[in-house]
Amino acid sequence: MKNQFYFTYALAGSLLFSLAAHGQDPDNTKVNKRDKDKSAQQSTPQNATATKEDLETLRKIRRAITSDNTLSTYAQNVKITVKNGTTTLRGPVRSADEKARIEELAKTNGAASVTNELEIAPPKN
């Protein structure tokens, strides 16, 4: 029991040290704050419609993106909203090729039009 306490204490201490040593926010913190800004009037899941057609288009696009193993994890997790047939793509991707590929997948999977707001993330240090 005493050993388990010391192990837990050591693990918690190393975690705190690791967080303090890096001292930086996740790289999309500013983007998430922007997405919550109601004055920006941007397309978010909260203000997208929930028509049957829009949801089906969203499902097809999401499935196509997550099934494409050539895309990075960043690219497979972009934000997709569909409102009245217009698809908005937001979030970080690793390259211009990924940005173009995701837009192509949206167009070929039911999007009437696409607003591509994807951003190329800076390379990892």
Q: How much is the pLDDT for 124?
A: 75
Q: What percent of the chain has pLDDT over 70?
A: 60
Q: How confident is the model at residue 123 (pLDDT cuts 50, 70, 90)?
A: confident
Q: Looking at the domain that runs over 26-120, which CATH code has it been given?
A: 3.30.1340.30
Ranges of each domain in the chain:
26-120
Lowest-pLDDT choice from 10-24, 76-90, 95-109: 10-24
Other CB atoms within 10 Å distance of the CB of residue 78: 23
Phi then psi dihedrals of residue 20, to 5 deg: -70, -35
Q: How confident is the model at residue 20 (pLDDT cuts 50, 70, 90)?
A: very low
pLDDT in tens, 55-100: 999 999 999 999 999 999 989 999 999 998 899 999 999 999 999 9
